[in-house]
Amino acid sequence: MRAHQIMTKPVVTVEPDTTILEAANMMLTRHISGLPVVDATGKLVGIVSEGDFIRRRESARADATVVG
């Protein structure tokens, strides 16, 4: 199997200033697990994935833990 056989078409992208909430909602409504992040010229500058949301939540929990 090759990537083109399972990828989402057309490509759904977000811009760097897209909010996390907007990106998450887009992923949920379109049933996709990641979004390429592109600048105004269409150049790829990053990728947002479900894993990024999970790690962000785990990081927030660790920051909120009171030690002592």
**Which residue type is seen at 18?**
T
Q: Taking the model in full, what pTM does it have?
A: 0.76
Residues 6+ apart with CB under 8 A from 8: 30, 32
- Give the Cα separation of 15 and 41 in Å (integer): 10
The string of pLDDT tens digits covering residues 1-60 is 998 888 888 999 999 999 989 999 999 999 999 999 999 999 999 999 999 888 876 555
3-state SS, residue 60: helix
- Give the Cα separation of 6 and 3 in Å (integer): 6
Q: Which residue in 13, 56, 55 sits closest to 32, CA to CA?
A: 13
